[in-house]
Amino acid sequence: MQVLYKSTRGNGETVTASQAILKGLSKDGGLFVPTVIPSLDVPAERLAQMSYQETAYEVMSRFLTDFTEEELKSCISQAYDSKFDTEEIAPLHKADGVYFLELFHGATIAFKDMALSILPHLMTTAAKKNHADKEIVILTATSGDTGKAAMAGFADVPGTKIIVFYPKHGVSPIQEKQMVTQKGNNTYVVGITGNFDDAQSAVKNMFNDQGLAEELAEAGFQFSSANSINIGRLVPQIVYYVYAYGKLVKSKAIQPGQKINVAVPTGNFGNILAAYYAKLMGLPVNKLICASNENKVLFDFFRTGTYDRKRDFILTSSPSMDILISSNLERLIYRLTGEDAEKCRELMEALSRGGEYTITGEMKAGLEDFYGNFCSEGETREAISATYYGSGYVIDPHTAVAAGVYQKYLRDTEDSSVAVIASTASPYKFTRSVMDAVSDRYQGLDDFALVDALSTLTGIKVPKAVEEIRTAPVLHDTVVAASEMPDTVRKILGIR
């Protein structure tokens, strides 16, 4: 069965998977969604015996139907290899009665590696398939993790350039050091004086700027995206939920067909949307637990049906979730409208124009697959501490938000189904927050002294991703206002 893609704001026109990956965002400003969600017709007993790479092929081949078997298997084998520090790629670790799905064993120790290790291979394959004659410029806004993972994936990939914008004062010191030390003749990192939403909105505006697109085309360039608005980011994320289910069956933690709950720390809504797509494919998932930090715009949306970004932007210890405009929610909204592109466009324009929209009662009823809640900064610290002192397992602040919200879900529902928590970053990426939560005796240490203290505490070797930036020189030091981003892109590309 061929799966095509259409825009959430379009008139029904379709493109192939490879064209959707290459474009990143539709011309009308909408996000590409599959015309049909394919069925996962693989028995759980078979999934249980599969490697990560084999699971990836089973899932992705059903969505990316214009890639040949050889092309897709080549992309998968190049992506999920020795870059990951564990053969399993995404191990499950049981602690405190739940299963933490460790998505941080890639080159940049965050879950973004799971998709961004394969996206460059999907994109360059897509470019060849579509006879693209222009150099691809990957334009990305990051709240901390996407930027580094995207650059690591695209560094020195022929026919591409990558430009990453990040909030200068809105990421952890380790996250920033990872980005500003990035090597590669085609990589560019720019700090902005605003927050992530400012960066993301400016990037989207550049994608929708036809005049800028013409300038680029004349100079031999075309934009694409490595953010989760790109369907080539979203599809690989579905894989690890399917893989986790197979591993639970293999370990006899569940019986084939038994439903599980999934808790995901959520900012831009892509990671939990991937779990939702896995459920729509037929994966036995009961509840999707959407965990927010103090920027709780999603919690308020699930509670009231109103999405309202008109609020103070809070800098937290889980910066990758410091987001007030959750781009991927648009894909869910489109589905809730009954795939009414005009209605979806109206809602998104209302958000852009007035800062809020409200869904109908009928649409709100469609949210029953989800449970939303949030953790305060104090509750996040408590979750790190409780997990460490309860089981000796150390989690980062993003994972802690999900763990804390999961405990609230348990209290609210008494649903004790087997639960998987998406563990989205290594604690080594947020050492200060983690060590402060574990004990007050580490105050006053610098970030790399904290890295060594964490290694001593856990007995786990410092990841290569952290070790190699300890003394790495800063290669990128440009900082601009959000309004200067388009001219910064022109300057980088030498077109003005």
Write out the catalytic residue numbers: 112
**Structural contact between residues 127 and 236, judged by C-beta atoms closer than 8 angstroms:** no
Using the 8-state DSSP alphabet, how is residue 483 labeled? G
If you count DSSP H runs as helices and E runs as strands, how many of each does the chain have, helices first? Answer: 22, 16
Closest CA to 144 of 195, 205, 184, 193: 195
In angstroms, the CA 103 to CA 399 distance is 10
155, 205, 327, 440 from 168: Cα distances, Å: 22, 20, 21, 27
In angstroms, the CA 56 to CA 240 distance is 8
From the CB of residue 210, how many other CB atoms can be counted at a distance below 10 Å? Answer: 8
With both helix axes pointing from N to C terminus, report the angle between 173-180 and 447-458 in degrees, rounded to the nearest 10. Answer: 110
Q: CB under 8 Å to 132, separation ≥6 — which residues?
A: 22, 126, 222
In angstroms, the CA 453 to CA 447 distance is 10
Q: Which residue has the tokens 């964490």?
A: 454
239, 380, 475 from 92: Cα distances, Å: 14, 21, 36
**Structural contact between residues 323 and 268, judged by C-beta atoms closer than 8 angstroms:** yes
In one-letter notation, the amino acid at residue 347 is: L
E-only strand ranges, 245-375: 260-265, 285-292, 306-308, 356-358, 370-374
In angstroms, the CA 387 to CA 371 distance is 22
3-state SS, residue 131? coil
